[in-house]
Structure 1
């Protein structure tokens, strides 16, 4: 495996780093101030002006839709391995990926449309998503069942003539709180008597369809992630045209596996970026604080933690590159062990390093004067998103045991 980046990727790295320095980092406090101001007015779910301004700059700079490979509708899309170092850079600021139209859940949903939608569905939903004109949501997880097993979903998708009727309750529906969200991809069951992995289907539900009710935004360690949001949603006798089915009845589990592979590795790439930034914060803070007569950076315990952080980040990065390389060359199914491994390793690594960075900042680390508390909350949540650690470890163990089965 050759992880030397092409001249094209190196150029994109430099341009993206320059964009972050010029436009993203200087606007971090402006973003937070806009959200706080909107919340004070009674509605935190208003898109920020700063991101909309930066989107135009990113498009003009040719830093747009970099995540989507092999799509004639997005010729600028890169392979997974090419995208990896760029996604890492975006991950240094939690809202930065949206600036480049590379944020979840839209990236996973656009991958889903590209792979599994009809041309008519692509024209209606993929095109405006690629242009950044709308946003989307993915509704799979349910409060009443252990959704780490996707076959457990109970949401009903029942065919009635030329329509599907949907009934169910979903939560952690990322993006639903955003007023620009115009389309939901909903996973449910069309046939409870079919084989276990053939009961599920995915259907497209336009936002605002009668019967769709957003109950509440959900907080992660006290953060509501406005204006994006993760919400609990009830679907009561929601009717959509039968043409809104994705790929066909009974194909939902198959689609979910195809969708989650790239989504998982994108999360891991961003986790590495967050860890790098936390290490940067840690080193700068330790070098500017004096305790017990010498700089904190001179205390041996911090040498140990800094060294361990560097080792952990580079290990995770290399395994992410390997997983991306395999996804590009042999496909997601054969790369499933590497995808599972990095999904366990990356968020565990990032939460550990962010935790040390918080400790280095003392009481300042747990307040919002620094981004570390939010970074920790987000990264800790990733140990559950797109499958909890335990599920991925189970996959890894089964694949390993299978090598020695008699």
Structure 2
């Protein structure tokens, strides 16, 4: 049975979220505060009342199971919610689903010990602290086969040494989840472990906070991707997450659902650009009339609408498959397809909107430059587009068997001869 409608009860929640976002959350994007800075009393004073409203509506940390204080909605409902939350950088913090905290909470919930959950997961779920996922490295990017950060046993402790690059939210984090090599002789998927490292642990140095695109790296800006150096950082043996050698498998669990949430938030950004493009088209006058009268303008709008709607359907179908199978590995190709399409759709729509705005479009008085940088970032985050294309192609090719190496199964003369042989007496 096919159904493209949202059930009325959940649609009522989405309608409330839409209005709440418009009146209460989106305006916060224009204030000089960082929603991840839980140590700033002004941030907490702003977040707490809004978070309480979200809790009262039963939408807090909706990505988690009910046992962990979430709603257990499943990926389709989460996708529909994130499609709205993507309009504001404050929204995920208001709704308790901000990255990297959401992914860190998920793996702590699935793989953490009771003590790890008490000390690190619960404050994270309550919105009291922020966290950092520290995985990629300067020399190896996101390829775990090239990681060199080591963790070695020394008595009752693990000692970490190495450098990590683009560690999201490092400067505001109360704890880091760090991927480090514990068995260098093992195969890639077995040689690394994840460690929970409290931020106050001696030996952690944030070399600098890296901004994305036009962002600055100073404390007043939003450059929160840390270049982090770990020098003889000592943590207790019980701070391994999920067991020694399990980092690769845990990381794959962490990334699957997050890519779908990023995709729906990307749709919100693309729609914002699309709305501004259409508004510009009917507002801007030329000597021949409004821009909307020109066929090239109409083509930009038509192409953008089609791309957004096609992508949205792909994302929702992938979310539905995840809910159906409850196994990210079975939906790996579909998730890869979403990841491949995501930056391209955003890039194309934003570029058309930007060009239609002329000089204003490339200025810092419109949001398009940041959106364009976001498109490029999405092509790199959670694995580069090229890697996901390989995954998609390889999984697809496994479904095919070799045919005649010269002409193949589509050769018309061969097909005619076969058909004639079937009907000949």
Residue of structure 1 in register with 2:350 after alignment? 354
Tell me, yes or no, if the aligned pair for 2:62 and 2:73 is still in contact at 8 Å. yes
Within 2, Cα distance between the matches of 1:144 and 1:48? 38
1:310-321 equivalences in 2 (<5 Å): 310-321=305-316
Tell me, yes or no, if the aligned pair for 1:55 and 1:100 is still in contact at 8 Å. no
Post-superposition Cα deviations, 1:210-257, rounded to whole Å, max 9, x if no partner, equal 000001111222214844611100000100011000111110000110
Post-superposition Cα deviations, 1:325-367, rounded to whole Å, max 9, x if no partner, equal 1112212110101111001111210121112111122222223
Tell me, yes or no, if the aligned pair for 1:66 and 1:78 is still in contact at 8 Å. no
Gaps of 5+ in 1: 36-43
Within 1, Cα distance between the matches of 2:289 and 2:256? 48
Within 2, Cα distance between the matches of 1:114 and 1:8? 28
Q: Which has the larger radius of gyration?
A: 2
Within 2, Cα distance between the matches of 1:258 and 1:83? 17
Within 2, Cα distance between the matches of 1:113 and 1:20? 29
Residue of structure 2 in register with 1:394 after alignment? 390
Within 1, Cα distance between the matches of 2:370 and 2:393? 32
Moved over 6 A (4+): none
Residue of structure 2 in register with 1:111 after alignment? 106
Residue of structure 2 in register with 1:161 after alignment? 155
Within 2, Cα distance between the matches of 1:405 and 1:208? 56
Tell me, yes or no, if the aligned pair for 1:151 and 1:200 is still in contact at 8 Å. no
- The reply to whether residue 56 of structure 1 matches residue 56 of structure 2 is no
How far the C-alpha of 1:116 sits from its partner, in A, is 1.2
- The reply to whether residue 255 of structure 1 matches residue 250 of structure 2 is yes
Post-superposition Cα deviations, 1:69-99, rounded to whole Å, max 9, x if no partner, equal 3340224342111110110111122332222
Count of aligned residue pairs for this structure pair: 393
Structure 2 CA distance for partners of 1:183 and 1:250, relative to 1, 3 Å: same
How far the C-alpha of 1:118 sits from its partner, in A, is 1.1
How far the C-alpha of 1:300 sits from its partner, in A, is 1.0
Structure 2 CA distance for partners of 1:50 and 1:182, relative to 1, 3 Å: closer
Residue of structure 1 in register with 2:408 after alignment? none
1:213-362 equivalences in 2 (<5 Å): 213-224=205-216, 226-227=221-222, 229-330=224-325, 331-362=327-358
How far the C-alpha of 1:3 sits from its partner, in A, is 4.1
How far the C-alpha of 1:323 sits from its partner, in A, is 1.2
Within 2, Cα distance between the matches of 1:381 and 1:281? 22
Within 1, Cα distance between the matches of 2:282 and 2:44? 33
Could you say what secondary structure the match of 1:303 adopts? helix
Aligned mate of 2:201, from 209, 215, 223: 209
Structure 2 CA distance for partners of 1:20 and 1:108, relative to 1, 3 Å: same
Could you say what secondary structure the match of 1:104 adopts? coil
Residue of structure 1 in register with 2:91 after alignment? 96
Residue of structure 2 in register with 1:19 after alignment? 20
Aligned mate of 2:170, from 156, 164, 176: 176
Q: Which moved more, 1:368-377 or 1:134-143?
A: 368-377
Could you say what secondary structure the match of 2:99 adopts? coil
Gaps of 5+ in 2: 403-425
How far the C-alpha of 1:197 sits from its partner, in A, is 1.2
Residue of structure 2 in register with 1:135 after alignment? 130
Could you say what secondary structure the match of 2:387 adopts? helix
Post-superposition Cα deviations, 1:134-173, rounded to whole Å, max 9, x if no partner, equal 000101110012x332232211011122111101100111
Q: Which moved more, 1:181-190 or 1:86-95?
A: 86-95
Structure 2 CA distance for partners of 1:134 and 1:80, relative to 1, 3 Å: same
Could you say what secondary structure the match of 2:328 adopts? coil
Could you say what secondary structure the match of 2:174 adopts? strand
Q: Which moved more, 1:64-73 or 1:20-29?
A: 64-73
1:25-104 equivalences in 2 (<5 Å): 25-29=26-30, 31=31, 33-34=32-33, 47=40, 49=42, 52-62=45-55, 64-104=59-99
Tell me, yes or no, if the aligned pair for 1:69 and 1:80 is still in contact at 8 Å. no
